[in-house]
Amino acid sequence: MRKNIGKRCTANRDLCSSSQDPQPFRMGDCSVPQPRSGVQHASGKHYEEEEEDALPDSDALPDSDDEVDLDKPRPIQIVLAHEDDHNFELDEAALEKILLQEHIKDLNIVVVSVAGAFRKGKSFLLDFMLRYMYNRTSPCWIGGNTEPLTGFTWRGGCERETTGIQIWSEVFVIDKPNGTKVAVLLMDTQGAFDSQSTIKDCATVFALSTMTSSVQVYNLSQNIQEDDLQHLQLFTEYGRLAMEEIYQKPFQTLMFLIRDWSYPYEHAYGLEGGRKFLEKRLQVKQNQHEELQNVRKHIHSCFSNLGCFLLPHPGLKVATNPNFDGRLNDIDEDFKNELRNLIPLLLAPENLVEKEISGSKVTCRDLVEYFKAYIKIYQGEELPHPKSMLQATAEANNLAAVAGAKDLYSKGMEQVCGGDKPYIAPSDLERKHQDCRESAIRQFRSVKKMGGEEFCRRYQEQLEVEIDEIYANFVKHNDGKNIFYAARTPATLFAVMFAMYITSGLTGFLGMNSIATLCNLVLGMALISFCTWAYVKYSGEFREVGTAIDQIAEAIWEQVLKPMSDNLMEDHMRQSVKNSIKASLGEQVSHHARLKTD
């Protein structure tokens, strides 16, 4: 069974018991760690380490349905990644069992998270953090030369290991120099930009870990490149969107951790070299492009504290040996020396950063509720989906082409039926619409666009729909210039009043008083509507009332008056045709009669 990372070094016992900060030492000074008498964890229990390892096999991750066993510290997955639908689920039971233990639930919490691209050593780094947390009072906390590295699952190779978000099942209770107790939680995250994750997946994991952590370690390789900053801008903005009220900087501490730093002659390893390097990278200059300035301003506006640490390469054995298991013998001395500086910088009691949201300290109990609230937001459809740079550029490219084609169509139609143009026959307007529509679509197709034919076809369909909507507005505008169309509402109301007046008089004469009263009522309403409509058109006030009267008049015209007038016109035309036929036949008969007489 693997050795427990909680075992302590026996060298220099007096120094270990009297000092909290690790002191400079050489690896040869450390012997193989000896068993501890006991380690106190969040449940308040002590577990003996003489016969039984405190850490189980790191490959044995519990399933979400398994009960979380807190007697054996191990990584517990609290955010589950579903690859089939690219969605995330919170294991509330596991999170509550860890954070709602009686001894810690009301303590302020410190959450240290490591995030970044996949296969860059995030879990490897967290396991050294675990060694420090279990042996923080010892100068030999980093462990023995031949001791394998255990804790969060990690391995060599090019395929991803961690999915979703994992936390260490043991929450460490630490006494700060001011006498207060805090709970320290270590968090591991799914690596970004692997072959199975979308941009939304990467943004969700990074945003969730940043929103819930007090210290976010942004794990990068070799340098801070511009795309690293752009991705950070995207991910933090995705997190900021999910936070309802932001009165100050939404996130706390961001530590850029540059792995495999190869330029110590320009900026020395460690925190001071990293500070100078980060200042140079995030500096906003007047001659910079606006896009580059905005990225840097955004990062400064999101985090209360920014830092950077330059870490050397751990050595060729670490990178190329498939059997490497974390033994210090295989790691370069420069890497180990800087690691001794980095880990206490993050986790020493005097350096711990308590989690705050909107200026208020967050307890373990509070963090459970924040996790639940945030995961619901990302499971819903309230937030826009982040996109890849190609997709975002292709969308902008196609939208610009759509806007240009719509502008061409609108200008062509304005020349025919614009504001100062006279009324045009509907058939001529339809013909002009078809010509302008074809010209606009031709222009859209002629513009060079990104995204491929299938992608661009969706935007062409969108263009056609929007052109039809614009045409409908031009038709209404043109109809408004028709004096008969403009007079349709008053003419309809007059027709209703006249019909009701005649009907009321006839029914009253015949003794049908109830019908006459109803007709008088409709007559009065039509008169009031006409007066109101006239006032609206004159004053421009109460436009909604005028629109409603127009719609009612339109309905009466279309459903009653127009069919009646059409029927009357049809009957009149039919009668006229009959009369003309009869007259023609009569004339022919009389003509034949005259011929016979002659």
Spans of the chain, pLDDT less than 70: 1-71, 82-86, 118-121, 153-163, 191-197, 238-239, 241-247, 380-393, 482-486, 562, 565-566, 568-574, 577-578, 595-596, 598
In sequence order, the 6+-apart residues with CB closer than 8 A to the CB of 50 are 35
Q: Which two tokens stand for residue 84?
A: 């089939």
pLDDT of the residue at 185: 93
The H or E element spanning position 194 is: none
pLDDT of the residue at 497: 85
Q: Which of 333, 363, 328, 354 is nearest to 131 (CA)?
A: 328
pLDDT of the residue at 80: 81
> Does residue 450 contact residue 393 with C-beta atoms inside 8 Å?
yes
pLDDT digits (tens, 9 = 90+) for 421-467: 787 888 888 999 999 999 999 999 888 877 778 888 888 999 999 99
> Does residue 170 contact residue 76 with C-beta atoms inside 8 Å?
no
pLDDT of the residue at 56: 39
β-strand partners of 174: 182
pLDDT of the residue at 439: 92
pLDDT of the residue at 478: 81
Q: Which of 261, 314, 68 is nearest to 168 (CA)?
A: 68
Residue 96's identity, in one-letter code, is E
Question: Rg of the Cα trace of the chain?
Answer: 40
Backbone angles phi, psi at 100, to 5 degrees: -105, 25
Tokens 């006494």 correspond to: 175
Q: Which of 246, 241, 306, 313 is nearest to 277 (CA)?
A: 306
Rounded distance between C-alpha atoms, residue 521 and residue 241, angstroms? 57
Rounded distance between C-alpha atoms, residue 143 and residue 140, angstroms? 6
In sequence order, the 6+-apart residues with CB closer than 8 A to the CB of 147 are 3, 32, 33, 326, 327, 328
> DSSP letter at 42?
T
Task: Find the farthest-apart pair of alpha carbons in the chain and give their distance in angstroms, rounded.
Answer: 154
Q: Which two tokens stand for residue 98?
A: 């860890």
In sequence order, the 6+-apart residues with CB closer than 8 A to the CB of 425 are none
| CA 41 vs CA 56, 174, 227, 354: distances in Å | 16, 10, 41, 19
Rounded distance between C-alpha atoms, residue 411 and residue 574, angstroms? 45
> String of b and e for 565-580 (b: at least 16 CB within 10 Å)?
eeeeeeeeeeeeeeee
Residue 124's identity, in one-letter code, is F
- Burial tier of 408 (Cβ tally within 10 Å: 0-12, 13-18, 19+): middle
Angle separating helix axes 199-212 and 364-379, nearest 10 degrees: 160
> Does residue 417 contact residue 478 with C-beta atoms inside 8 Å?
yes
pTM check: above 0.75: no
pLDDT of the residue at 397: 80
For residue 191, the tally of other CB atoms under 10 A from its CB is 23
pLDDT of the residue at 3: 37
> String of b and e for 51-90 (b: at least 16 CB within 10 Å)?
eebbbbebeebbebeeebebebbbbbbbbbbeeeeeebeb
Backbone angles phi, psi at 525, to 5 degrees: -65, -40
